[in-house]
Amino acid sequence: MKKIFFLVILLGITAFAAEDSSWKHESEASVVQVGGNTTSESYSAKQKTSYKIETHVLTGSARYLQAKANQLETAKQWDASLRYEKELGEKWGVFLQHGAENDTFAGYVQRDNTDMGGKYFFLKEADRNFFGELGYRYTKTQFVAGDVSFSNSARVYLEYGVKLNESVTGKIWLEYLPNLKSSESDDYLLNYEPSINVMMNQILSLKVSYLVKYHNKTKTDSEKKEDTTFTTALVAKF
């Protein structure tokens, strides 16, 4: 309980420290601890910070997740990325992004992704927006077993957000990554995440999300194709 209390205080202090409107921050964190006959604990945190200068936007983001049951680690993931975006008009834009991720329980020590492509807003209103991205991804993956693979993929990304009322917003995004090599057509990734945000005040909100990562081709028959993460978190936007 103390960890949750200090988490709320930290998010609040950080939010009030931001004064430059060119900066945008979104901090997200959750802590769950269970004691008694069985013990388990999980921690997750996300941070997204962007800075805009005229039509140029630079965004850095990071995510961390760890879970334990009876002192045995059952999940551990992290990812981080840096993205540059150039707005070409009210609806158009182009971007370049590089990121890295880790999930040893999914079989890889590190996966490096380099993305480039274009962005288009199909809908851009005060209470809802819908945009898509189309581009290319180059991936280098270092597996737990020690081998390394390289792949070239197309990338299709769609995101829809809606304001349901003054305090509730919803969002869903979907990302499809087919391998461009004809002999590896069955090697594709599909990721998606629906979420609901309930505002507590002008800065803090409660978020419930369900993230799904699906990899159609696995390295072993015993490896599961789908990883899911259900999260309830405290979010600060400023």
Q: Give the model's pLDDT for residue 60.
A: 95
The pTM of this model reads: 0.85
Residue 44 pLDDT greater than 50, yes or no = yes
pLDDT digits (tens, 9 = 90+) for 153-169: 999 999 999 999 999 99
**Mean pLDDT of the region 123-132:** 95
Amino acid 89: pLDDT: 92
Percent of the chain with pLDDT over 90: 71
pLDDT computed for residue 20 by the predictor: 55
CB neighbourhood size of 106 (10 A): 19
Residues 236 and 190: their CA atoms lie apart, in Å, by 28
Q: Which of 56, 50, 7 is nearest to 31 (CA)?
A: 7
Band of residue 52 on the pLDDT scale cut at 50, 70, 90: very high
For the domain bounded by 53-59+73-237, which CATH number is listed? 2.40.160.40
First to last CA, the chain: 25
Q: Among 113-117, 123-127, 218-222, name the one with the lowest average pLDDT.
A: 218-222
Q: What is the pLDDT of residue 18?
A: 46
Taking the C-alpha atoms of residue 142 and residue 187, their distance in angstroms, rounded to an integer, is 16
90 or 35: which carries more pLDDT confidence? Answer: 90
Q: Which tokens is 100 given?
A: 């890295």
How would residue 233 be classed by pLDDT, with cut points 50, 70 and 90? very high
pLDDT at 2 over 50: no
pLDDT 10s digits, 169-196: 999 999 999 999 988 888 899 999 999 9
Q: What is the pLDDT of residue 21?
A: 65
Answer whether residue 13 shows pLDDT above 50. no
What CA–CA distance (Å, rounded) separates 126 from 149?
Answer: 43
